[in-house]
Structure 1
């Protein structure tokens, strides 16, 4: 999904859905107190035409399926073994190789400029949208309005994204009612949410528009720029599977996505990485349930950078493994 999906999704239960139903409004969103506040903000703070914003909110439709979808993201409900099967399919690898070949010059330019491997960029786009084939069927205006006004657990976040969306579409000259995306309002090849679009999308083909919705060249450059701005370290490892074991509950299995320990901490505990990594390098071990049993992985700084795109270690590992598969086919002698 987006750039960057969202941490802290709450898994709703039927009772909560009943509560959410009470937030349904009569008439359009422009008539609700929250809608009026947003209209006033867009006019006073950002210089929008009041009638235009009222019209956009009046046109926005609450979609109950969005509220259901956001309650059960795959990253929260599947094991690693189940999750991996979604993204490490032969067809996705084959399509990724074709995508890399088709835009070989663009990937090379992005890798040279930003220091992010072409296979990582391609894997992100492959995981997010199957290389641009599935970018979402919801109107972004409907998705963001539904979540901003009818989803209390994350209303503040999505209200902010709705503001960012209106600003982004004005800046890029897009029709706010025409852009489509995911149930969470993520857009384009790389599924950027509105704030990520404004902060990280770039014009990579010099046509004056940062279009990641339909332009794969801009999308490739924008994903690379996103990783660069989140401090990707060129040439450093992402993660590796260890043959050793750690019991569940071990203090070496930290909960935070950001690494709090070092490679030396794990070496002192008898876990030896195969890759050449300095002892002071930040690291985090994760224990996952794979298709054939538990898997212990040691992750590094660049793995954490991938989780800035989507706050899930399942997602980051899927991206890493898809990138590896693409690289194995392109550079078999190096594996």
Structure 2
């Protein structure tokens, strides 16, 4: 996608980074951390990075205790659905979604046609992730990924991999690795792509040879749609349907797996009746959520599983789906009045 930036085997991480050496010599950073030194050695050997430039760069990376605190208490683990839902399905977020849709209608229609993903799903993802670009994260991505790679042993391997991808993408994109900001986990841009997702799924949707998900809404929209397409979104198929439960049901089939492991027919035989007609042979998971009016059962179909590829959470996928439905309803209603 950006081959013109890869022709030279050895590119500078950031213009003028070598000038930082004198200033950073006394800085307290990660350059002396054993895991950082291991990563630097690997990047030099595997990707022809400059050891001096990487040392200078990591001397500027800062440990953030607030990041370690935040990653220990994600909302999906501390909230029930009835509370989690309120965060994302307030009237303002849906209304702002309609505004975002109207402002970017051409790009959304083009992305939907090319990738087969409904505009409301694309809009809802961006709405859930960043409130349509209003909250894209205030941490330097380098600080976030370094903190989690070097000081969060539980997921050090994952974030080390993401840190490597980040260094590669900033070189490919000719971006300053000290300048880009994102979430406490290192997610970036309108759609909050992790570095590996950026390199795999971000697209140049406006033809300028750069995939800019930070400032270019068109590229961000195309990238989200491409992500869903590449993860198997099936155009025109339903996402999730509410299910009724027979009173005499015994057992626990719910929340066993994000991936559909049953069929609609087998769940119906077990006592879970879809309230909307769905082919019996369709694959499905059984989702159990604690809502404001009690326990809810849903049949999570293939496209529901695709949404969980963006964030491995049933509540997240349900929030995206229900916000998308709300946005679509308000968008259609506004068009009828116009």
Partner of 2:207: 206
Is the contact between residue 245 and residue 296 of structure 1 (CA under 8 Å) also seen in structure 2?
Answer: no
> Is the 1:186–1:194 Cα contact (8 Å) retained in structure 2?
yes
Q: Relative to 1, partners in 2 of residues 1:245 and 1:58: Cα closer, same or farther, differing over 3 Å?
A: farther
Find the counterpart in structure 2 of residue 226 from structure 1.
227
Indicate the residue corresponding to 1:298 in structure 2.
Answer: 299
**2:293 maps to 1:288:** no
**1:272 & 1:136 partners in 2: Cα distance?**
42
| In 1: Cα distance, 2:217 partner to 2:308 partner | 22
Question: 1:249 deviation in Å?
Answer: 7.7
1:15-44 CA distance string (max 9 Å, x none) = xxxxxxxxxxx9431112211111111111
> How does 1:155-234 map onto structure 2 within 5 Å?
155-234=156-235
What's 2:54 paired with? Answer: 53
Residues 165-217 of structure 1, C-alpha deviation per residue, up to 9 Å, x if partnerless? 00011111110000000000000000000000000000001111100011111
TM-score for the superposition, normalised by structure 1: 0.89
Query: How much has 1:280 moved relative to structure 2?
Result: 1.4
TM-score, length-scaled by structure 2: 0.88
Counterpart CA distance in 1 for 2:249 and 2:193 is 35
Larger radius of gyration: 2
2:269 and 2:249 map into 1 onto residues whose CA distance is: 18
In the aligned structure 2, how far is the partner of 1:262 from the partner of 1:324?
A: 24
SS in 1 for 2:297: strand
Q: How does 1:32-111 map to 2 (within 5 A)?
A: 32-111=33-112
SS in 2 for 1:241: strand
Instruction: State how far apart, in whole Å, the 2-side matches of 1:318 and 1:272 are.
Output: 22
Partner SS, residue 331 of structure 1: helix
- 2: CA distance, partners of 1:73 / 1:247: 35
Cα deviations across residues 259-287 of structure 1 (Å, max 9, x unaligned)?
Answer: 10001101212333233322111111111
CA shift for structure 1 position 248:
9.7
2:124 is paired with a residue of what secondary structure? Answer: helix
Indicate the residue corresponding to 2:149 in structure 1. Answer: 148
Aligned counterpart, 1:315: 316
Judge conservation of contact 1:306–1:316 (CA < 8 Å) in 2: yes
Return 5+ residue gaps in structure 1 as ranges.
Answer: 1-25
Provide the rounded CA distance (Å) in 1 between the counterparts of 2:194 and 2:152: 17
Question: Following the alignment from structure 1 to structure 2, what is the Cα–Cα distance between the partners of residues 254 and 295?
Answer: 12
Segment drifting more, 240-249 vs 151-160: 240-249
Tell me the C-alpha RMSD between the 2 structures: 1.8
Alpha-carbon spacing, 1:82–1:254, altered in 2? closer, same or farther (3 Å): closer
